[in-house]
Structure 1
């Protein structure tokens, strides 16, 4: 059904849950949120942006859970809450650890359900989606099939996960090489993606005012994944949207430079509708939501579809 703007559903949130990760150097902490009632709940894995944590993105998590999803949020090694030193030997490979963390969550769904009896037997293992913002978008892109191009120009290993059936990428970085600033090229070698192999159904969000200091291009850099990926079936370009798309990382957060409840609502409603239609055959939430979005008297952006 189309997403409702009213958040009235009772939700259970539990965390942190520690998942063993010996190859990571420390346990992976996650938080799980889900409606208090209902069964066969579709699952969203939420990958946070640089320095964020499992505590962030409440406006999205609250909306998704109110509309019937269970949401699992990890804290990655780059989180400011962990204080990992730049000289830590894990730092250059954090992008790989992020992908491994997301897969680790799926590997430990039984443990997660055993830890929280209220979730026992209620997660739909056949309907799993992943959503990522910024650095988290790069993480999720890898799980959906994107790859990293090596220094020698060869396309890197396939790190996708077939358990993830659909994705949403929010403010996700585009092509590397000549389009990276010198700083980005030096410090973020993984920002040289190949999107050709990304075939999982995906919705892309970009802000038309998102002018990244990591790229020599303008806001259209964030549309590369839509243009170049066969799996990215829709692009939402939000008018006036900057990197936080109106404030998706939290309520009243101070780092939002384009605060807009209407823009956040567009992300909430369209992401929910897309995932419902991607995960459930014959579900009409996405076409209904796109029509409502286009017909709104307060138009927040444009939707392109392949």
Structure 2
């Protein structure tokens, strides 16, 4: 495993220690800031919000650009990957012309001491399948920051702010993504501390614009499991040999999700392998998450039908399907 991944694992361990006094269902008010947005009343609608449709059948080239955002003094540079015109395959091309069409948006949150580029092998596959991916660099938990770990609890509000700015590009005169964003089809995803951030966006800091979530090696420490708002399908991905966030802890959060959900378990997966390491496992994780996003954001029923058989190929994973 690389030094970068090892550093992420060590930092995540510190997060667990830093939040040890927190309840599994709510943040401890004396030691951590409360989520910025109060939870709305739970919806009585048990079905996903996105209508039926069809996802793109051909792959796209990948473009990449940067957004310089700032939320009340919190610098939030955002890496923005998007489907681009031209031949699919190869490295992401900076400031490439966007492909024709309207594409759902996925907000991705990195882990502790992480950076969006660490996840490019996974995220660019999402983009090639027809999604725009926006990944903020958080001010206190990214690589090279001051490492204020409890600031993870402020990150759901950072993601919501960044999402607003990204969606505004769809109507911004002269912007390369004008008219290219499906602003009503949005998901949140994240790994480790970014998984905590993502869970928070569906619990105490519920962002009702989100139609789906993908949680990699996440836990509810500090953000709780009081899932709220309209039904939003969730995909959890967790290594059974995770040495940082125990598999049982991740599954306990998954069990609390009241909406359509699925759990991709990796019997030989640790905290990072499959996202940042093993090629075969990465293929299963990326293919499964892409079909989940195709279904939950494009409404593609065929993608949903592929999920179970695709996830369990090669004995690399098991799939608990409640979608």
Q: Same fold (TM over 0.5)?
A: yes
1:126, CA displacement in angstroms? Answer: 0.6
Q: Which residue of 2 aligns with 1:194?
A: 225
Tell me the distance in 1 between the aligned counterparts of 2:159 and 2:195.
Answer: 12
SS at match of 2:195: helix
Q: Which residue of 1 aligns with 2:279?
A: 261
Q: Which residue of 1 aligns with 2:206?
A: 160
* Structure of greater relative contact order (alpha carbons < 8 Å, 6+ residues apart): 2
Kindly indicate whether the alpha-carbon contact (under 8 Å) linking 1:226 and 1:232 is maintained by their aligned counterparts in 2: no
Kindly indicate whether the alpha-carbon contact (under 8 Å) linking 2:191 and 2:218 is maintained by their aligned counterparts in 1: yes
- Asked if 1:13 is matched to 2:64, the reply is yes
TM-score (structure 2 length as normaliser): 0.71
Tell me the distance in 2 between the aligned counterparts of 1:290 and 1:116.
Answer: 42
Tell me the distance in 2 between the aligned counterparts of 1:226 and 1:136.
Answer: 16
Between 1:218-227 and 1:127-136, the stretch displaced more is: 218-227
5 Å-filtered alignment, 1:1-306, equals: 9-15=60-66, 17-22=67-72, 25-36=73-84, 37-84=99-146, 86=148, 92=150, 94-109=151-166, 111-113=168-170, 114=172, 117-145=175-203, 158-173=204-219, 190=222, 193-195=224-226, 197=228, 199-212=231-244, 218-231=246-259, 233-246=261-274, 248-249=275-276, 259-294=277-312, 296=313, 298-306=314-322
> How many residues are aligned here?
253
Tell me the distance in 2 between the aligned counterparts of 1:63 and 1:239.
Answer: 23
Q: Which runs of 5+ in 1 are unaligned?
A: 146-157, 177-189, 250-258
Tell me the distance in 1 between the aligned counterparts of 2:174 and 2:303.
Answer: 30
Q: Which runs of 5+ in 2 are unaligned?
A: 1-53, 85-98
Q: Which residue of 1 aligns with 2:24?
A: none
Partner deviation per Cα, 1:59-112 (whole Å, 9 max, x = no partner): 1111001100000010012344452265xxxx64x1232111111012213554
Partner deviation per Cα, 1:150-177 (whole Å, 9 max, x = no partner): xxxxxxxx31011010011000125x5x
1:282, CA displacement in angstroms? Answer: 4.8
Partner deviation per Cα, 1:247-276 (whole Å, 9 max, x = no partner): x24xxxxxxxxx421111111010110111
TM-score (structure 1 length as normaliser): 0.75
Aligned pair in 2 of structure 1 residues 11, 115: CA closer, same or farther (>3 Å)?
farther
Kindly indicate whether the alpha-carbon contact (under 8 Å) linking 2:126 and 2:290 is maintained by their aligned counterparts in 1: yes
Kindly indicate whether the alpha-carbon contact (under 8 Å) linking 1:53 and 1:79 is maintained by their aligned counterparts in 2: no
Tell me the distance in 2 between the aligned counterparts of 1:61 and 1:287.
Answer: 23
Kindly indicate whether the alpha-carbon contact (under 8 Å) linking 2:56 and 2:130 is maintained by their aligned counterparts in 1: no
Kindly indicate whether the alpha-carbon contact (under 8 Å) linking 2:110 and 2:116 is maintained by their aligned counterparts in 1: yes
Tell me the distance in 2 between the aligned counterparts of 1:3 and 1:241.
Answer: 30
SS at match of 1:14: strand
RMSD: 2.5
Q: Which residue of 2 aligns with 1:150?
A: none
Kindly indicate whether the alpha-carbon contact (under 8 Å) linking 2:233 and 2:259 is maintained by their aligned counterparts in 1: yes
Kindly indicate whether the alpha-carbon contact (under 8 Å) linking 1:42 and 1:69 is maintained by their aligned counterparts in 2: yes
